[in-house]
Amino acid sequence: MLTDHFGRTATDLRVSLTDRCNLRCSYCMPAEGLQWLPRPELLTDDELVRVIGLAVGRLGITEVRFTGGEPLLRRGLTEIVARVAALRPRPEISLTTNGIGLERLAAPLRAAGLDRINVSLDTLTPEVFERLARRDRLADVLAGLAAVAKAGLNPIKINTVLMRDVNDHEPVALLRFCLERGYQLRFIEQMPLDAQHGWRRAEMVTADEILAALSVEFTLTPDDPADRGSAPAEAFLVNGGPASVGIIGSVTRPFCGACDRIRLTADGQLRNCLFAREENDLRTPLRAGASDDELAARWMRCIQAKLPGHGINDPGFLQPTRPMSAIGG
């Protein structure tokens, strides 16, 4: 088991399939994009399946979430999902995506074994979308969401990041939209993980502010905290339930003490935290013919170096060198 020095056990593996993206969300990337990883540095499908197979077969990983960058841009995604679904013990398989391309891929992904999906949606207004993501693609995201519902994926979770003076007037409309369609909405506080280091604490829309804005229109009551487990979102029942809304207060309400995650970047580096400043290289030994025992020992070293918290609120906090899109959000 991947248990760290603070008694937390990692069971949830986040796998970045690519650092590339077709949007340029301003809390994530600069307008001009980034220097993408050279293709030969990315783990191949076979390498990925071997590493994930080791994680579920020997190291206690029970959930695999594919992310990026934009994971739908990874060629062969459906086959990767099918191969991971064939592993034993079979992990739960989920995907975090901006939704562009889901219109075509939702049904094949479901058929390949995808269990759950999170779609990022920050606004319902085309102009705001274009300003925030620097691309005019809201219609594609909405078409993707409709396709996901039609494909029968359940639950459908929506991730929203609010930015001050950009989309912070929309939480009520977004919650209404999700309630009407049975989607589970979660607001995520903006974190200092953008490539251009533009995050400012004073500009961040906080969990308290989001709750206050929603409370003008809805009655929110905290859901039973015993049900939260290691989930990052604090759940609130809306108008008595059963529908709920989640708030992920990564900065003002950190949940590191219950963290059960570990991450693999698209170029084969293992990270024990989004905010880790060190990585454990799996790709080099993998390509040099390492045995499963040797690779497993690297996973153990990685988890044993996990710090108790992300440290964003410490005076000496340093943002990790890689941005969120290259780590896998």
Which residues contact ligand SF4 (rule: CB under 6 A)? 21, 23-25, 28-29, 68-70, 98, 120, 325
Q: Among positive and negative, which fits the CA dihedral 126, 122, 212, 236?
A: positive
The entry of ligand SAM, ligand SF4, none near residue 269 (CB within 5 to 8 angstroms by kind) is none
Q: Between residues 72 and 247, which has the closer beta carbon with respect to ligand SF4?
A: 72
Q: Between residues 4 and 267, which has the closer beta carbon with respect to ligand SF4?
A: 267
Q: Does 48 contact ligand SAM by CB under 6 A?
A: no
- The 3-state secondary structure of 224-244 reads CHHHCCCCCCEEEEECCCCCE
Is 247 in a helix, a strand, or coil?
strand
Q: Report residue 130: phi and psi, to 5°.
A: -65, -35
Q: Are 213 and 232 in contact (CB under 8 A)?
A: no
Q: Does 190 contact ligand SAM by CB under 6 A?
A: yes
Q: How many residues bind ligand SAM (CB under 6 A)?
A: 20
Q: Does 159 contact ligand SAM by CB under 6 A?
A: yes
User: How do 220-222 and 234-238 pair as beta strands?
Assistant: antiparallel
Q: Does 68 contact ligand SAM by CB under 6 A?
A: yes
User: Least separation, in Å, of the C-beta of 300 and ligand SF4?
Assistant: 30
User: Least separation, in Å, of the C-beta of 126 and ligand SAM?
Assistant: 18
Nearest to 117 by CA among 77, 86, 83: 77
Question: Who's near 173: CB < 8 A, 6+ residues apart?
Answer: 124
Q: Does 70 contact ligand SAM by CB under 6 A?
A: yes
Applying CB under 6 A, which residues contact ligand SAM? 21, 27-28, 67-68, 70, 96-98, 120, 159, 161, 188, 190-191, 193-194, 324-325, 329
